[in-house]
Structures are given as C-alpha cells and as structure tokens.
C-alpha cells in the first residue's frame, strides 16, 4: 500500500495530540505529588480523576493509530519508540524502583508500530467500517483482561483461565502474572484493538 505523505498531516491532529500530551503532563505532575512526594490529594483517588486519566490514554492511543498511515519508516520509528520505553524502564528501576515502569505506554506504542508494519497488507484488506466496529467492540470486551476477566471496567462477563496468567510474556500480551507491578502498564491487548480502531477511523476519513 502506498504510504500517505507525512506532509499531508492535519494541523488539528497535531494540535489535539499536543493538548493530550499537555493533559498527561498535568496528570503526572499530580501523580508525582501523591506517589513520590506523599502529598495528600483525596480527589486524586476519585472516579472523576480516574476517567480524566483514562480519557487521555484512550484518545492518545486512538489518535496514534489514526495517524499511523501518515508517517514514514514505521519500523525505524517503532524501534526508536521501543528504545525510549526500555530507557524509561531502566531509569525508573534505578532511581525509583518502587515505582518502576514495565511495559509502559512507549513500549506498547513501539510494539503497535512494528506489528502494523508487518501486517498492514492484511489489515488494509478489511473494510474500514467493519474494522472500526470490530476493533472497538473487541477493546470493550477485553478491557478487563489484565484483571482476569472478559468485560469492560465494572462490568465483567466471564473469568478467564488462570493458566493464561503465568509469566512476563503473557503479561506483555495482557494476561498479567501474579505479583506483577508497574506504575505505567499498557499491555498489547486490549490496547492494540483501540490502536487499530484509530487506524480504521483514518481510512474512513481518507475516503
């Protein structure tokens, strides 16, 4: 498939991603106050704050998938982003081991880029409307797999077999091993479905 020139990138997408990054920076400023400096902020534990944080995550990953066709050299970009994720993991393990990052957002985004570079030929054959619907539905259904369930947030449909949750590889995929801890954890699933939903949304908008 011919890749769309990155010069055609929409200005509003760059602006929106910039606003999302700013929002994430603000959130992590308060996160640092609470978890690194032990400042008491009761509102930070509220449901409203949780959904505030989740909205940034969801929109950022969706937009990352949306913008994937606009970029060039996806393998190189993916490797650079994964390298950034590894660097964050090393630094946090050394300087703040009790809040270390394992499989954080950068590691996920780099993985998604590399996977898309490998399978876009097949992914692009799916009708965009069906691709958007299917991946959005799969994201909803698998949102809770990190906790051992098929379901979305407070709604659990079925418990998944415990045998799936046993090591670092399964944790990377989304089936979190017992005792795993990370201050920033984005497993391949369910988040890849949200990334793909963004990709198909772009294909619909580019018609």
Alpha-carbon gap, residue 89 to 103, rounded angstroms: 8
| 19-75 tens-digit pLDDT | 888 888 898 889 889 887 888 999 998 999 999 888 889 999 999 999 898 888 899
Q: Would you state the pLDDT for residue 14?
A: 74
Mean pLDDT, the chain, whole residue set: 90
126 Cβ contact list (under 8 Å, min separation 6): 134, 200
**Dihedral of the CA atoms 123, 125, 126, 128 (nearest 10)?**
90
Cβ neighbour number for residue 47 with a 10 Å cutoff: 7
The yes-or-no verdict on residue 94 having pLDDT over 60 is yes
User: What residues does each domain of the chain span?
Assistant: 10-205
pLDDT of residue 9: 54
Phi then psi dihedrals of residue 46, to 5 deg: -80, 160
Tell me the whole-structure pTM to 2 decimals. 0.89
Nearest alpha carbon to residue 139 among 46, 65, 82, 36 = 65
Closest-CA residue to 79 (of 114, 117, 116, 118) = 114
Compare 35 and 129 and report the one with higher pLDDT: 129
Residue given tokens 């098929």 in the structure block: 150
Q: Is the pLDDT of residue 5 over 80?
A: no
Query: Residue 24 has what pLDDT?
Result: 83
> Are residues 35 and 99 in contact, defined by beta-carbon separation less than 8 angstroms?
yes
């Amino acid at each position: 498939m011919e890749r769309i020139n990155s010069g055609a990138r929409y200005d509003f997408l760059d602006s929106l991603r910039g606003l999302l990054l700013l929002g994430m920076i603000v959130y992590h400023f308060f996160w640092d106050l609470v978890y690194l400096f032990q400042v008491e902020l009761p509102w930070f534990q509220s449901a409203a704050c949780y959904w505030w944080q989740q909205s940034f995550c969801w929109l950022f990953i969706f937009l990352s998938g949306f913008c994937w066709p606009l970029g060039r050299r996806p393998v190189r970009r993916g490797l650079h982003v994964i390298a950034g994720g590894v660097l964050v993991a090393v630094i946090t393990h050394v300087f703040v081991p009790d809040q270390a990052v394992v499989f954080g957002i950068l590691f996920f985004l780099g993985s998604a880029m590399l996977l898309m570079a490998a399978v876009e030929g097949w992914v692009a054959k799916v009708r965009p409307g069906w691709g958007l619907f299917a991946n959005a539905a799969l994201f909803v259904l698998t949102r809770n797999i990190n906790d051992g369930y098929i379901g979305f947030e407070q709604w659990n449909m079925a418990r998944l077999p415990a045998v799936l949750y046993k090591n670092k590889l399964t944790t990377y995929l989304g089936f979190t091993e017992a005792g795993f801890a990370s201050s920033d954890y984005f497993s391949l699933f369910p988040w890849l479905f949200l990334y793909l939903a963004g990709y198909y949304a772009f294909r619909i908008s580019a018609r």
